[in-house]
Structure 1
Amino acid sequence: MTHQNDPLARAQQTAHEWLKVVAERLGTEDRTYTHRVLRAWLHLVRDRLTVDGAVHLAAQLPEFLRGIYFEGWVPSRVPIRYDTAEFTTLFAHEGGISPADVPATAGAISAGLGVLFSPGQLDHVFAQMPTGLRSELAGGGPTPVAAPRDSAEQLRLNALEDRVHALTDAVSALAHGFEELPTEEPSGSRAARAAQEAHRILMVAGTAET
């Protein structure tokens, strides 16, 4: 089969171009390593987002990487509200790297994807994350605080931030359901589905706190 007649040739080429950009940010020519850590980034960011947020991010990806992105995705389980330490552990495990290397690796991948995504896309995604996790994804590691806090206080602050994000996600789901869209679907059906999604988000958040 010639290159011209291969319907997947362009999709393969685009995926390789994206891997090349990310590999350059990582400072490596090892495409296997690049693929592995990029996959870890995609899965962990995906699972921290709501269903709508994950789908919107997927639309930015080329066809082959979109397949990797959705591999193993369970919409009924998201968002999974892990904190920075859990993110680091999971990334190190899935990416096959040391936990100490996670901030720099995640930051390099974010920098590469920031060039490839639409302007502002990553800012929108990171805005849905807790502060510490945003810093980790940007390559800066945990965000320093003005004064040390005891673990109980930090846990309360993390829980509060997660509740705020859950409420924001729920309101966003409701607003999306009431948008006037040029479709044949009855507006009442969209609103009901949006209400169900908002309820699910709040239930997931409530379960995570218990």
Structure 2
Amino acid sequence: MTHRTDPLAHAQHTAHEWLGVVAARLGTEDRDYAYRTLRAWLHLVRDRLTVDSAVHLAAQLPEYFRGVFYDGWVPSRVPVRYDAAEFTGLFAREAGISAADVPGASGAISTALSELFSPGQLDHVFALMPAGLRGELGGEAPVPPAPRKSPEHLRLNALEDTVLALSEAVAALARGLEELPTEEPARGRVAKAAQEAHRILMAK
């Protein structure tokens, strides 16, 4: 008699392990609540990133949560600009919690994922976020945003876009220059990285 195994069992087991870590950091045994808040965190952080950064973040997730991460994603519309106050409203709506509970919940998710991801992964992601949003992802209450139509606000938005594009380009070059065991000649790897950096800067 042939012994049959469930091909999805490992993915489900890993997803439950991750959800257990998240629930523990949230201080709850309610797996549904833990899942909703994790999904909200993943979707909102994903949409605030460029396509390249979102893909690198998704690669850190187990198979099941990678599907959750990509669900509803529209790469042509990212990064979506929203500040910490808007993040609060969006998070509360998607997670089904009150706005007052968002900083604690998002901070707990960040703590859990920092334990589960490769070292430094969340630091890289948070470095691409505005300071106010970084604070809320770390569990701080949101700071009221500056007036949206002011020249200073528009200048900061343009600067943020430029810094984000430069960060992505530098990251692409760094990946190409890494000394990794590969069959591809170093020259070809560097050329590809340069092309990717150029594409990012031109898209800006």
Q: Tell me the TM-score normalized by structure 2.
A: 0.81
Q: Percent identity?
A: 56
**Are the aligned partners of 2:40 and 2:95 in contact in 1 as well (CA < 8 Å)?**
yes
Residue-by-residue CA offset, 1:118-155 (whole Å, 9 max, x unaligned): 111111110110100000000012369xxxx9634762
1:41 paired residue number: 41
C-alpha displacement of 1:168: 2.3
Give the deviation of 1:196 after TM superposition: 3.1
- The amino acid across from 1:122 in the alignment is L
Partner Cα separation in structure 2 for residue 198 and residue 182 of structure 1: 28
Alignment map for 1:117-156 (pairs within 5 Å): 117-142=117-142, 151=147, 152=150, 155-156=153-154
Shift in Å at residue 165 of structure 1?
A: 3.0
- 1:175 paired residue among 173, 176, 184: 173
Partner of 1:78: 78
Give the C-alpha shift of residue 96 in structure 1: 1.1
Structure 2 alignment gaps of length 5 or more: none
State whether residues 132 and 142 of structure 1, in contact with CA within 8 Å, keep that contact through their aligned partners in structure 2: yes
Tell me which residue corresponds to 2:160.
162
Q: 1:3 to 1:87 in 2, by over 3 A?
A: farther
After the TM superposition, list the runs of 4 or more consecutive aligned residues in structure 1 that deviate by more than 4 angstroms: 176-184, 186-194
Match of 1:13 in 2: 13
- Report the Cα offset of residue 167 of structure 1: 3.4
Displacement of 1:31 after TM fit?
Answer: 0.9
| TM superposition score normalised by structure 1 | 0.79
User: What is the identity, as a one-letter code, of the residue corresponding to 1:36?
Assistant: R
Give, in whole Å, the separation in 1 of the partners of 2:146 and 2:3: 61
Task: Give, in whole Å, the separation in 2 of the partners of 1:153 and 1:85.
Answer: 20
Q: CA deviation at 1:173?
A: 6.3
- Asked if residue 195 in structure 1 is aligned to residue 164 in structure 2, the reply is no
> For residues 124 and 89 of structure 2, what CA distance do their matches in structure 1 show?
24
Give me the whole-angstrom Cα distance separating, in 2, the residues matched to 1:75 and 1:182.
31
Matches within 5 A, 1:61-76: 61-76=61-76
Secondary structure of residue in 2 paired with 1:79: coil
Q: How many residues end up aligned between the 2 structures?
A: 196
